[in-house]
Chain A
């Protein structure tokens, strides 16, 4: 929405510089996006009289003119009479007219502020000099007009500034509509001016014609036209008024000043009839619509019988903009008899449009259910000025005074006369109920100490009725404040109008109970820090993925929540695991020259298969995934690199994990990217599977252009957290006695799992009183053999004496026997 400051000034005395005004409006009414200095583009634009005008020799359409600017412009060539020569090609140029002149060295307003401003010169044209130009409405950045140059319709002095005469020395305030969603009244200049007056502390008087809720509609010329109105469903429309005017002259334009006001706030002038409806809408917030009466009677089966009803199945309507829409039962439709002639509040129908042959018109002033209209707006994509105002909820009281003013202005600007009664139908209406609030309540919420007088005066400054009964105030909001329902609305008015910034900041009182960060947050921070120390980079990737990303890893797309209204196909689905998102950013980083890296993400995933919570919203799974890659092929499988990082992480967290190969089928989506022969479940000491680790399938590597050396893991953070939080610290006092180390080498079948040997060793170590520690030293398999040698190192210490060689030998002997028995190993 654009607010013209000059338009405001017609209703409120503003004597502040523009920056102070903008600041005050920002602090007390609404945020201003931008302040535009409209006057700047017209600073050299002058009104001139065309004194002489004759066809230019050798041209079939150009005229040579002499213009009078009362000698105002300095830097220009004049003839003996002080007149300036300008060549003009417009068909409507004639001697004696007042026109608008853009002198040499001025910038054409239409190009002002653009990347290529056009500066005029005195230039020769067909052998004569043309000094600047006479301007059209388009060149003046006002509106499209094909009739030629702009003809000044005011009795102005030649040489006066165009901007002054037409009040274009203006500032425009750009305000986002949604910032005022709750304030229908401010969508009209008068309502906005009332607010400005209140924050400036200036008097404000609502124009008289807007005050009377039961106005006179001017003289009725004749009673030739009959009209009836029926609201079929009273919920749809609070009030519908209509009147017939005749002898309208559809080719007449509204006064130029009105056209300039409309165009500066973004409305295109059309003709006097349409301009009246738009002008009053911008002024009051109440949209109006004009139908061609004769067309409406024709499509309505011979009479003007207006019905406000819901759309019907299979009903269609061709709109003013030429679009053919299918109406819905949720649309509100204006019908003549059975035929739809308008989409209520949104746009009229083409079948009753005002055109150059229109003689008689129906003017509609009504208000409709805002929720219905909003759904119409969304369904049909209509964002007109009218529906923008209707969907804020205009009060029913407003239709009458605005209609009366419309009848008057249409008479003045288009020559139309009223020829029918004003027909009215009413639906369900709401009205403002008085609200009772105490002074202490207001101060208790705001944290202020306003006096009763301050509060009462503030409310009265915006035309609220206040009845005082000791410190109890009964407040009646004026009808245009449909947003005032509860005590808090009154409190807001007081705070806002007196300025929230005048309130002294305080701090809430609270007790000294310590608030602890959540255990999970502390765990998550540890987790993050441990991976960072392991050389990994934390990334954040989108929660939504393209379906192709899931297909590339072999995940079932049907198990993902699908976004239905995404602007981009990259945001089609909620992801089911983090790994695909990580894989998707590996190649771009490799291409950037990063040869060795690990990336990880801690975030949430949302596969459908996990079901809903007791609130009936999807269960969220906290997940941590890591991928490690190297563009060089290193010794050993990449699997063990990922495992090394994971082991480091869990050691830092104080727990140990087991790795179980994935036997049998497991189609869970988190496993999908991983190669069945090279992946393992990650299992806690309590036998809880918390995730997967592995290398990626070859097909996945191809699809994501991964380096050959690539592996990763993905775990559920909540399960990892449970494992960590169940773990108690297990400190053993240091031994004061020296210990010893023994290496043992086992020869086993190549397919024997390492864990089998480790378990056999531990079964012995767990039994002994001695303090022991087991470390792998070497895993060796000679070329072409079916066996491997696993070397382990056992450190042994006693807590209460120096370990003897015999004790150590005995333990090693037991270990050897255990491994030989359970793993078929031989000790070498």
Chain B
């Protein structure tokens, strides 16, 4: 009888040549090997059986790839330069009413539009970054426990899918330095996708969207920050709003706080109901210094908040997981 390796070589060669590769599984050589399993010494039986099974798995994967080659070979080529196929006519577009814009991008556009009108430039945030931009440039020392709160993913090369859009802060500050020193101001938002390594449920996602803002000048104050944020939300909700803050700790701001608004009437809010919207604070002098900006001369504020939350509140969306699900049943509820 032939060894398993011999059989493997023979049968794989047959698969490679066959027009009906699946027939190879019925080969006598394979049946013989299976027949042999029960006769073999019990101490070797398990190992032998496993080898035979491995062979069968190898054959099956070779058969699948051979089958797809055979199938792909049946494909005829077509004239890619023609406007339509032979003996047919110009294809129709899909019905316009099928077309839908994703609610997250729609909302992001609204947010960007308001901030642009308020004087902020908008840039998209990176989706892969390094430790320097994600942490060190933002005054998170190596091994600092404040890093724990961010549950970051890492790649083999130690790149980081950013856990906040603040990953752009150092770049924005560096880019704006010249303008600042020429007597201007830095006013920018960065927006985009961020990632946290956490379990997904109706209110938690590993992938979500944030919008971050930065304002630096010679005279930016904490009262300016509260006023700016309130102005944004008043514009967004189209009504005057009460706001409040809670002290909070983020290493890249000092003082740092969380910012809440009284739930707007348009969302069915009642007085005394508060919505936490974002984290904010005066930019830490170390962050300015790292970007080459003199903290004794310039001061600024920064904030960052989730975009998904705005969308969920606006439409009453019950489950965060819908956003990245690609479900048409969800998407087609949002007519553009």
Which A residues lie at the B interface, using CB under 8 A?
A: 26-31, 178-183, 370-372, 374-375, 391-392, 444-448, 486, 488-489, 491-492, 495-496, 500-501, 503-511, 513, 515-518, 521, 525, 528-529, 531-544, 561-568, 571, 574, 581-582, 584-585, 588-589, 592, 594, 596-599, 602-604, 606, 615-618, 620, 628, 634-637, 639-641, 643-645, 647-648, 658-661, 675, 677-680, 693-694, 697-699, 702, 753-756, 758, 776, 778-781, 788
| A539: B residues at CB distance < 8 A | 102, 326, 331
Q: Among the listed B133, B141, B226, which residue makes an inter-chain contact with A500, where contact means beta carbons less than 8 Å apart? A: B226
Alpha-carbon distance between A59 and B113 when the two chains are bound, in angstroms: 80
Complex CA distance for A181 and B248, rounded to whole angstroms: 10
Interchain CB contact (< 8 A) of A528 among B105, B146, B199, B324: B105
CB atoms of B220 and A508 under 8 A apart: yes
CA distance A513 to B182 in the complex (A): 15
Task: Output the nearest chain A residue to B153 by Cβ-Cβ distance.
Answer: A563
Q: Quick check: B78 and A543 within 8 Å, CB to CB? A: no
Tell me which of B3-11, B44-52, B253-261, B262-270 binds A: B253-261
Q: How far is the CB of A782 from chain B (nearest CB, A)?
A: 9
- B93 proximal to A (CB < 8 A): yes
Which of A182, A534, A599, A679 is within 8 Å of B326, CB to CB? Answer: A599
Encoded as 1 (CB less than 8 Å from any A CB) or 0, chain B from 160 to 193 comes to 0100000000000000000000001101000001
Given contacts A507-B224, A659-B80, contact A492 B93 (CB under 8 A): no
CB distance from A572 to the nearest CB of B (A): 10
Contact A495–B82 (Cβ < 8 Å): no
Q: Report the minimal beta-carbon distance from B107 to chain A, rounded to whole angstroms.
A: 12
Question: Given A536-B98, A538-B101, does the pair A446, B222 have CB atoms closer than 8 Å?
Answer: yes
A561/B324 contact (C-beta < 8 A), A507-B224, A675-B75 known: no
Closest to A493 in B: B255
Contact with A along B119-131 (1 / 0, CB 8 A): 1111100111110
Tell yes or no: B314 within 8 A of A by CB. Answer: no
Min CB distance B198 to A, Å, is 7
Which residues on B sit within 8 Å (CB–CB) of A370? Answer: 145
Q: List B residues 135-168 near A (Cβ within 8 Å).
A: 141-146, 148-149, 153-157, 159, 161
How far in angstroms is the closest Cβ of chain A from B228?
A: 6
16 contacts between A and B (CB under 8 A): A30-B246, A181-B149, A371-B142, A372-B143, A374-B144, A532-B99, A535-B99, A543-B127, A543-B207, A567-B199, A589-B326, A589-B327, A602-B105, A635-B85, A697-B72, A702-B71
Which residues of the partner chain A approach B221 to less than 8 Å between Cβ atoms? Answer: 444-447, 506
Which residues from chain B contact A658 at a C-beta distance below 8 Å? 81
The answer to whether B223 touches A448 (Cβ under 8 A) is yes
Contact assessment for A375 and B143 in the assembled complex, using a CB-CB cutoff below 8 Å: yes
Inside 8 A of B121's CB, which chain A residues have their CB?
Answer: 515, 518
A96 to chain B, nearest CB (A): 52
User: How many Å lie between the Cα of A455 and that of B195 in the bound state?
Assistant: 41
B residues bordering A, Cβ < 8 Å? 65, 68, 71-72, 74-102, 104-105, 109, 112-113, 116-117, 119-123, 126-130, 133, 141-146, 148-149, 153-157, 159, 161, 184-185, 187, 193, 195, 197-199, 206-207, 215, 217, 219-224, 226-228, 230-231, 243-249, 251, 254-258, 282, 284-285, 299, 323-329, 331-332, 336
Nearest Cβ distance between residue A766 and chain B, in whole angstroms? 18
Return the chain B residue nearest A759 by Cβ.
B81
User: Are the CB atoms of A698 and B282 closer together than 8 Å?
Assistant: no
Do A517 and B129 touch (CB < 8 A)?
Answer: no
Decide: B155 and A563 in contact? CB cutoff 8 A.
Answer: yes
| Contact between A179 and B249, CB atoms less than 8 A apart | yes
CA distance A565 to B76 in the complex (A): 44
Q: A488-B254, A508-B224 are in contact. List 19 more A-B contacts (CB 8 A).
A: A27-B244, A181-B149, A374-B144, A508-B185, A510-B185, A528-B105, A529-B101, A535-B99, A541-B324, A543-B193, A544-B161, A562-B156, A563-B153, A617-B130, A620-B126, A643-B91, A659-B80, A680-B80, A698-B68
B228-A594 in contact (CB<8A): no
Residue in B80, B81, B113, B195 whose beta carbon sits within 8 Å of that of A543 in the complex: B195
Contact between A781 and B99 (Cβ–Cβ < 8 Å)? Answer: no
A754 contacts B79, C-beta separation under 8 Å: yes
Find out whether the CB atom of A534 lies under 8 angstroms from the CB atom of B93: yes
Asked if residues B215 and A508 are in contact (CB atoms below 8 Å), the reply is yes
Neighbouring A residues of B245 by C-beta, 8 Å: 27, 500-501
> What's the nearest-Cβ distance from chain B to residue A780, in Å?
6
Chain A residue numbers with a CB within 8 Å of B77 are 661, 677-678
Query: Which of B82, B90, B109, B121 gathers most chain A CB within 10 Å?
Result: B82
Contact B231 A507 (CB under 8 A): yes
- The one of A500, A620, A628, A780 in contact with B127, judged by C-beta atoms closer than 8 angstroms, is A620
The 7 closest A-B CB pairs, nearest first, are A535-B94, A447-B223, A447-B221, A699-B68, A585-B326, A636-B85, A636-B88
Whether B85 pairs with A535 at a CB distance below 8 angstroms is no
- Within the complex, the shortest CB–CB distance from B103 to chain A, in Å, comes to 9
- Within the complex, which residue of A492, A518, A643 is in contact with B254, where a contact is CB–CB below 8 Å? A492
The residues of B that contact A27 with a CB separation of less than 8 Å are 244-247
CB of A563 within 8 A of CB of B323, answer: no
Which of A181, A639, A753 is close to B249, meaning CB atoms less than 8 Å apart? Answer: A181
User: Cα distance A599–B217 when bound, in Å?
Assistant: 44
* A543-B193, A564-B156, A567-B198 known; A29+B247 contact, CB < 8 A: yes
Contact A488 B284 (CB under 8 A): yes
Cα distance A500–B259 in the bound complex, in angstroms: 10
**Other-chain residue from A492, A574, A588 in contact with B155 (beta carbon distance below 8 A):** A574
Contacts of A678 in B (CB 8 A): 75, 77-78, 80
Q: Please, which residue of chain A has its CB at the minimum distance from the CB of B95?
A: A535
Contact A697 B68 (CB under 8 A): yes
If the complex has contacts A564-B154, A753-B79, A781-B87, are A495 and B98 also in contact, measured as CB distance less than 8 A? no
A537, B332: Cβ atoms closer than 8 Å: yes
- B247–A754 contact, CB under 8 A? no
Assess the A503–B105 pair: CB atoms within 8 A.
no
Provide the residues of chain A in CB contact with B68, threshold 8 Å. Answer: 697-699, 702
- Residues of A within 8 Å of B215, CB to CB, are 508
Given A179-B249, A448-B223, A779-B87, A628-B156 contact (CB < 8 Å): no
Q: Which residues of A contact B282 (CB under 8 A)?
A: 445, 488, 491
Contact A640 B72 (CB under 8 A): no
Q: From residue A232, how far is it (CB to closest CB) to chain B in Å?
A: 21
Within the complex, which residue of B78, B109, B148, B258 is in contact with A637, where a contact is CB–CB below 8 Å?
A: B78
Question: Are B254 and A489 neighbours in the complex by a CB distance under 8 Å?
Answer: yes
Interface centre among A372, A581, A598, A604, by most chain B C-beta atoms within 10 angstroms, is A604
Give the CA-CA distance A268 to B43 in the complex, in Å. Answer: 52
Q: Is the CB of B327 within 8 A of A26?
A: no
Q: Are the C-beta atoms of A677 and B223 separated by less than 8 Å?
A: no
Residues of B within 8 Å of A542, CB to CB, are 206-207, 324
Contact between A677 and B75, CB atoms less than 8 A apart:
yes
Shortest C-beta distance, A613 to chain B (Å), equals: 10
- A774 CB → nearest B CB, Å: 11
Q: Which residues of A contact B326 (CB under 8 A)?
A: 539-541, 581-582, 584-585, 588-589, 599
> Which chain A positions have C-beta within 8 A of B324?
540-542
B100 partner, pick from A447, A486, A532, beta carbons under 8 A: A532
Closest to B227 in A: A505
* B90 and A515 form a contact (CB under 8 A): no
Most buried by A among B72, B80, B246, B255: B80
User: Is there an interface contact between B112 and A779, defined as CB atoms closer than 8 Å?
Assistant: no
Chain A residue at minimal CB-CB distance from B249: A182
Contact partner, B81, options A597, A645, A754, Cβ 8 Å:
A754
Residues of A within 8 A of B141 (CB): 371
On whether the beta carbons of A753 and B98 are closer than 8 Å, the reply is no
In the bound assembly, the distance between CA atoms of A699 and B70 in angstroms comes to 10
**A28–B247 CB distance below 8 A:** yes
For residue A636, which residues in chain B have a CB less than 8 angstroms away from its CB? 84-85, 88-89, 91
Residues on A with C-beta less than 8 A from B159 are 561, 617-618
The CA-CA distance from A615 to B134 in the complex, in Å, is: 13
Query: Chain B residues with Cβ under 8 A from A521's Cβ?
Result: 112, 122
A31 with B258: CB separation less than 8 A: yes
